[in-house]
Amino acid sequence: MKQILLLALLIIALKVTCAQKSDILPLRWDLTYTSVLNANHVGPDDWVWKWLGQNYESPIKQLISTSNHEAIESSILLEFPAPHAGEHITMWFVRTKSQAYYIELVEDNPPHKTKEALKTQEYDKFFDVTSRATSDASKVRKYS
């Protein structure tokens, strides 16, 4: 019985390994932010809905769909309005198995785009600190 179970686990592990080596699958991220805003009960008249616009999709979606990159292992995506004019600013930190990089996009005339390689160890430290901070959000002290 133990041998059959071991064989079944090896077959499953082999299938999972092969699946991971296949073409990069779609990430299935909600880059419209609709699910996040609805889950947090953000009303339709709130400024963030107006800022995003009716059919907004993050510019990262196009980068992902047109990019020929390694599979993404982790990522931090920040999008926010510029304080002076409200145009969209996107900052994306990405880690693949062999590299890390930073992409910055600013909705401007003309649009601004920056892509910089990061040291993988520095990205990993940044991701670790950021992940801990967001998982401890309930412990964050709020000031009025």
**Tens digit of each residue's pLDDT (9 = 90 or more) over 74-133:** 899 999 998 888 889 999 999 999 999 999 999 887 888 999 999 999 999 999 998 887
Instruction: Answer yes or no: is 52 within a domain.
Output: yes
Task: Give pLDDT, residue 9.
Answer: 33
Nearest to 90 by CA among 102, 73, 74, 72: 102
Beta bridge partner(s), residue 93:
76, 102
* Residue 66 in this model has a pLDDT that exceeds 80: no
* Residue 17 in this model has a pLDDT that exceeds 70: no
Q: Residues 67, 110: one domain?
A: yes
User: Average per-residue pLDDT in the chain?
Assistant: 76
What does the block give as tokens for 104? 């910055």
Q: How many other CB atoms are found less than 10 A from the CB of residue 118?
A: 16
Q: Residues 66, 117: one domain?
A: yes
What is the bridge-based pairing of β-strands 100-106 and 112-118? antiparallel
Cβ(67)–Cβ(53) below 8 Å: no
Sequence-ordered list of residues with C-beta below 8 angstroms from that of 43, at least 6 positions apart, any chain: 49
Count, residues in the chain: 144
Q: Residues 80, 41: one domain?
A: no
Instruction: Answer yes or no: is 126 within a domain.
Output: yes
Q: Residues 49, 86: one domain?
A: no
Nearest to 100 by CA among 131, 78, 122, 83: 122
Which has more confidence, 136 or 28? 28
* Residue 43 in this model has a pLDDT that exceeds 60: yes
* Domain boundaries, position 94: 58-136
Task: Give the count of domains, the chain.
Answer: 2
Q: Residues 104, 46: one domain?
A: no
Tell me which DSSP letter residue 139 carries.
Answer: G
> Stretch 37-48: mean pLDDT, rounded?
90
Q: Residues 40, 63: one domain?
A: no
